[in-house]
Amino acid sequence: MNRTLFVNVGVWDATGAATYPGEVLVEGNRISKVAKGSERLPRDGAETIDAAGCTLIPGLVEGHAHPSFSNAATTVEIGDIPPEEHVLVTMHNARAMLDAGFTSLYGAASAKVRLDVVIRNEIDSGRIAGPRLRAASPEITVTGGLGDERRMHMHRESFALIADGPDEVRRAARMCVREGVDNIKINISGDDFIKSAKAAMTVMNDAEIRAAVEVAQAYGKRVNAHCRAGESVKAAIRCGVDVIYHCEFADDEAIDMLEREKHRTFVGPAVGILYNTMYYANRWGITEQVATDLGIKRALEACAATYDKLRRRGVRVVPGGDYGFAWTPQGTNAKDLELFVKLFGYGHGEALLCATKTGGEIMGMADLGQIRAGFLADLLLVDGDPSQDVSILQSKDRLLAIMKDGAFHKRPRVALAGGRQAAE
Ligand SMILES: [Zn+2]
């Protein structure tokens, strides 16, 4: 059995405790022992990593992952990718997120039914490198909703599945389950770049939402919903949706409902796409004025106000900012943590808890997301202490080692005790 011992390391264990000096022993794919202070763990037979005071944290969890999104500027382009290329795109993106320290991805939506599924299976088999992945379905959307790219005179594929009425939603959801997804995505709100379904509109009805939830519950899957409008958030909660994304226009009633259901549901702002569309999309013709005209500034301000409230109410919030568009490229996902601090009022350690402890919870794994004996050994060795400054996680050079399931994806270059040098 593989044994790896981290010594001379600061341990930030995601239990809510501050970073403490200690040692961590990994045996097989699990953390077997954690020592605090001057306590020493047995060295025998273990590869010993002298971390020189760097910080060990749990691997990050991306709570709104789109590994099949191709860093395109429009959603139409994502639908145009042929399946053969699309599998490769998805494979490379999953790898890019692992390279960035994300050892788990909670799939928000996939661009084709089997993309997340086949990549999850290849990763789990060990044939390709990638994070743990809860595979998502495509976005199930109603005619005219976000993701319906058809026109009267032409059929056009998109990243969505179009379904109207509970029977069609049920059929689409069951088909996704048959093909192996873990999460079913539905679009309850529109979006401001969709002429026929704006962000403030609730375009999927309760019967349709309930159909998706019934299928998910029957098969032990989760339902994710795209909800911008307050009414959409309320409908999602009323109908039993598990993960509610965006929520920026949640009114007080919706926020009360989210608080009441906080032990069952998760929310994710997907703030990265709003922020980068506002300030970093100039190259694609989206100046601040264009973004403001598109409603992005209003959405960003609403998002900041809503998530400040949700944070105070103890609602479980996951980072994940719709990375996978041109100005939110895959692998830059850790920026969301900085935005949690900058825009929502989280402390650095609190933001990190959202990406680790809460991340383990949204993955549905009781033994993921913390550094505790018996937990899965998904670990990052970081140059510096991200619980004091989460922005350092955006620099790959600061990620000295990435371990997933007890094996190094990125080996540390630090000296090993006994004078050996770790192979890269
Ligand atoms: Zn998304």
Both 301 and 242 in one domain: the answer is yes
341 confidence band (pLDDT: 50, 70, 90): very high
From 402, 366, 398, 369, select the one nearest 382 (Cα to Cα). Answer: 398
CATH code: domain of residue 46: 2.30.40.10
Whether pLDDT at 114 is above 70: yes
Both 53 and 71 in one domain: the answer is no
CA of 13 to the centre of ligand 1 (A): 29
Q: Is residue 340 part of a domain?
A: no
Q: Is residue 424 part of a domain?
A: no
CA of 64 to the centre of ligand 1 (A): 6
Both 305 and 372 in one domain: the answer is no
Global confidence as pTM = 0.96
CA of 379 to the centre of ligand 1 (A): 26
CA of 334 to the centre of ligand 1 (A): 16
Q: If you ran DSSP here, which 8-state letter would residue 284 be given?
A: G
Whether pLDDT at 228 is above 70: yes
CA of 323 to the centre of ligand 1 (A): 8
Q: Is residue 375 part of a domain?
A: yes
CA distance 241 to 229: 15
H/E element holding 369?
none
For residue range 285-316, what is the model confidence (pLDDT) as tens digits? 999 999 999 999 999 999 999 999 999 999 99
CA of 84 to the centre of ligand 1 (A): 22
Both 18 and 47 in one domain: the answer is yes
Q: Is residue 277 part of a domain?
A: yes
Both 131 and 190 in one domain: the answer is yes
Both 99 and 151 in one domain: the answer is yes
In whole angstroms, how far apart are CA 250 and each of 15, 111, 205, 300?
30, 27, 17, 13
For residue range 124-171, what is the model confidence (pLDDT) as tens digits? 999 999 999 999 999 999 999 999 999 999 889 899 999 999 999 999
Q: Determine the structural domain holding residue 7 and report its residue range.
A: 3-59+367-410
Q: Is residue 298 part of a domain?
A: yes
Both 47 and 188 in one domain: the answer is no
**Percent of the chain at pLDDT above 70?**
97
Both 126 and 8 in one domain: the answer is no
CA of 66 to the centre of ligand 1 (A): 7
Q: Which of 333, 359, 390 is the last residue of a domain?
A: 333
CA of 270 to the centre of ligand 1 (A): 7
CATH code: domain of residue 123: 3.20.20.140
pLDDT value at residue 415? 53
For residue range 143-155, what is the model confidence (pLDDT) as tens digits? 999 999 999 998 8
The structure tokens listed for 52 are 């020189």
Q: Which of 333, 348, 380 is the last residue of a domain?
A: 333
Both 124 and 30 in one domain: the answer is no
CA of 130 to the centre of ligand 1 (A): 20
CA of 108 to the centre of ligand 1 (A): 6
418 confidence band (pLDDT: 50, 70, 90): very low
Q: Which of 281, 313, 333 is the last residue of a domain?
A: 333
CA of 109 to the centre of ligand 1 (A): 7
Both 171 and 115 in one domain: the answer is yes
195 confidence band (pLDDT: 50, 70, 90): confident
CA of 121 to the centre of ligand 1 (A): 22
Whether pLDDT at 421 is above 80: no
CA of 369 to the centre of ligand 1 (A): 22
Whether pLDDT at 118 is above 90: yes
CA distance 117 to 143: 25
From 364, 366, 370, 276, select the one nearest 328 (Cα to Cα). Answer: 276
CA of 1 to the centre of ligand 1 (A): 39
For residue range 82-92, what is the model confidence (pLDDT) as tens digits? 999 999 999 99
Both 194 and 74 in one domain: the answer is yes
CA of 322 to the centre of ligand 1 (A): 5
* Strand partners for 35: 23
CA of 351 to the centre of ligand 1 (A): 20
Angle (nearest 5°) at CA 196 between 142 and 326: 90
* Mean pLDDT across 264-282: 97
Number of structural domains found in the chain: 2
Both 24 and 64 in one domain: the answer is no
CA of 20 to the centre of ligand 1 (A): 36
Whether pLDDT at 369 is above 70: yes
Q: Is residue 172 part of a domain?
A: yes
CA of 37 to the centre of ligand 1 (A): 42
Q: Is residue 218 part of a domain?
A: yes
Q: Is residue 359 part of a domain?
A: no
